[in-house]
Amino acid sequence: MTIQSTPSRQVKSVCFFNNKGGVGKTTLVCNIASYLALELNKRVLLVDADPQCNSTQLLLETSTVESLYESESAKSKLVTLNEILAPILVGESSIAQMAIGDFQTETKFGLTLLPGHPRLALLEDKLSRSWGEFKGGDAGGARITNWTTQFLQGMAASYDYIFFDVGPSLGAINRSILIGADYIVVPMGCDIFSQLGVDNIGAWLSDWKQGYEDALKATLRSHKDLISSYPVRESVEKSSKVAGYTVQQYITKTIKGERRPTEAYDKIIKDIPQRLENKIGKYFAEGIDKQNMHLGDVPHMFSLVPLAQNAHVPIHRLTSADGLAGGQRSQLDQYRVFIKTMCQRLVDNLQLNK
């Protein structure tokens, strides 16, 4: 069965993105995607679009990961995002047509994974050139820039949610993903650098969104049937709308009886909502109460995260068979409450925005 385009889609596409790395983004997106799949019975596709392939390594057993990146002569039959985008690297304007069954489904996370590939880093230059060509009125550049739009149309009938895990770059790969994606979730750390990352996102979004609209006008002058003939967004006004943010909780330290870091961290936490509204508020998804933009404070899970990583299971499904023991059980109970509440809030936000 090959991917077919569909004229309308109910699927929600969400990119987890911050210009600041080290905020627990991959752990968050993998566990949210898994919760929706396993606990809410949703059809979920997770696309690992980070050349570092962290989601791929988290979900798949080590032997499977190794088989994905072996030499071509002994290559795994599983499709990676590299195979989807390979035609673009050799000069085509369309992505590869793949069978849904070629995607990885045998994980303990209950979802479908489209693994990443380190070669995605090579796509950065190609997409940058295509963006420049698009701004010059080239139809091929417009189509390559919209590869995510084409991909999402092809996946629409098969999934309820499509999540993208991306790196922290403000580069061409992430721009092309956000052009096609409906929503952004912004994972944040409790530090000033996460806030500065949001500042960068706001300026970057404004720049390429205006650039896209101008480029499309220029292209349509010579290619009037571009939008009707190909999967190209007629506007990015409603793409990459912010559907929420999370904040990683910090660990307080008591020094001589005084919790010294608390005041500084608490100030950052209090400043985050206003900072977000000032910098990216105009991109908040419509219909969502601003208070509900805060999806939750991600608890520090101490040893649960490496335990889940080693077992390649979502945190909320850890058991004694995975090595869970002692005080970890109470931490797990707390995490299950957190992930349930956060996922329900995210689902509500996505449903409220039409």
Query: What is the rounded CA–CA span in Å between residue 27 and residue 155?
Result: 24
**Band of residue 4 on the pLDDT scale cut at 50, 70, 90:** very low
Whether 113 contacts 53, CB under 8 Å: no
pLDDT of residue 40: 96
Over its C-alpha atoms, the chain yields an Rg (Å, rounded) of 21
Whether 147 contacts 194, CB under 8 Å: no
Q: Over 50: is that where the pLDDT of 5 sits?
A: no
Whether 166 contacts 14, CB under 8 Å: no
pLDDT of residue 229: 95
Q: Could you read off the pLDDT of 134-161 as tens digits, one per residue? A: 999 999 999 999 999 999 999 988 999 9
Q: Over 80: is that where the pLDDT of 2 sits?
A: no
pLDDT of residue 74: 53
Query: What value, to the nearest 5°, has the Cα angle with vertex 59 and ends 57 and 63?
Result: 60
Q: For the ranges 13-17, 44-48, 97-101, 244-248, which has the lowest average pLDDT?
A: 97-101
pLDDT of residue 71: 60
Q: List beta partners, residue 184.
A: 15, 242
Query: Looking at the domain that runs over 12-352, which CATH code has it been given?
Result: 3.40.50.300
3-state secondary structure of 43: coil
Mean pLDDT of all residues in 192-204: 87
What are the structure tokens assigned to 324, written together? 């869970």
Mean pLDDT of all residues in 165-193: 92
Q: Supply the mean pLDDT for the chain.
A: 88
Helices (H), the chain: 25-38, 54-59, 62-68, 81-89, 123-135, 139-145, 147-155, 172-180, 192-222, 226-229, 260-280, 304-311, 328-352
Q: For the ranges 71-85, 170-184, 282-296, which has the lowest average pLDDT?
A: 71-85
Query: What is the rounded CA–CA span in Å between residue 52 and residue 56?
Result: 9
Q: For the ranges 20-24, 102-106, 212-216, 312-316, which has the lowest average pLDDT?
A: 102-106
pLDDT of residue 263: 65
Domain ranges of the chain: 12-352
pLDDT of residue 99: 61
Whole-number percent of the chain with pLDDT over 70: 89
What are the structure tokens assigned to 100, written together? 């849904």
Which of 342, 192, 178 has its CA nearest to residue 275?
192
pLDDT of residue 261: 53
Distance set, CA 156 to CA 8, 98, 306 (Å): 8, 14, 34
Mean pLDDT of all residues in 32-46: 97
CA atoms within 13 A on the CB side of 315: 30
